[in-house]
Amino acid sequence: MEGPMVVLVRGKEPGRGQWDLPGGFVDPGETAEEALAREVREEIGLEVTTTRYLGSWPNVYEYMGVRYRTLDMGFVCEVANVEQARPMEGEIAEVLLLKPQEIDLGRFAFGSVGRVAAKYVEQGSGIGGQGPGGCER
CATH classification of the domain holding 26: 3.90.79.10
The domain total for the chain is 1
Tens-place pLDDT, residues 34-87: 999 999 999 999 999 999 999 999 999 888 999 999 999 999 999 988 989 999
- Band (pLDDT 50/70/90 cuts) for residue 124 is low
Q: In which domain, by residue range, is 76 found?
A: 5-123
Tens-place pLDDT, residues 89-121: 999 999 999 988 899 999 999 999 999 999 988
Domain membership flag for residue 18: yes
Answer yes or no: are the C-beta atoms of 63 and 24 closer than 8 Å. Answer: no
Domain membership flag for residue 134: no
Domain membership flag for residue 132: no
Answer yes or no: are the C-beta atoms of 47 and 41 closer than 8 Å. Answer: yes
The predicted model scores a pTM of 0.83
Q: How many CB atoms lie within 10 A of CB 89?
A: 7
Domain membership flag for residue 133: no
Domain membership flag for residue 136: no
Burial of residue 135, with CB atoms counted within 10 A of its CB: 0-12 exposed, 13-18 middle, 19 or more buried: buried
Residues of the chain above pLDDT 70, percent: 88
